[in-house]
Amino acid sequence: MTELKKVVFELPDERTPGYLRRMKNLAEFQNAQKNAANEIERFEKLCSFLSGYVKEPSDPEEAKEALMDATKEQIDELFALIGGRREIVPPSNGASLETTTASE
């Protein structure tokens, strides 16, 4: 079994400076996903977008590798948090998704 890498996300909240910039980046990401030429391009853009929220590992390549090893449930939870939901329901299988917010 592959060793799971620890991924810690730092999620800004509405009081974190740069709110409009983050909303613009999200809109650009969504638009790029619609216009991506193929699935590989979509995965690359997805990892690049999400890596902006990765606090650990700090190395960009390690962060992308850790994202590639995440479960669908973890990625879905991350998108829910980016979209403004403030709580995480722990997965039934015991896996965890560590997050911090800028206001903590």
Average pLDDT of the residues in 8-28: 86
Cβ pair 22, 12 in contact under 8 A: yes
Tens of pLDDT, residues 27-85:
998 999 999 889 999 888 888 888 888 888 888 888 888 888 888 888 888 887 777 65
The predicted model scores a pTM of 0.66
The pLDDT of residue 28:
92
The pLDDT of residue 47:
87
DSSP the chain: -PPPPP-EEEE--TTSS-HHHHHHHHHHHHHHHHH-SSHHHHHHHHHHHHHTTEEES-SHHHHHHHHHTS-HHHHHHHHHHHTT----PPPTTS---EEEETT-
Annotated domain spans of the chain: 23-97
Tens of pLDDT, residues 74-98:
888 888 777 765 544 444 444 445 5
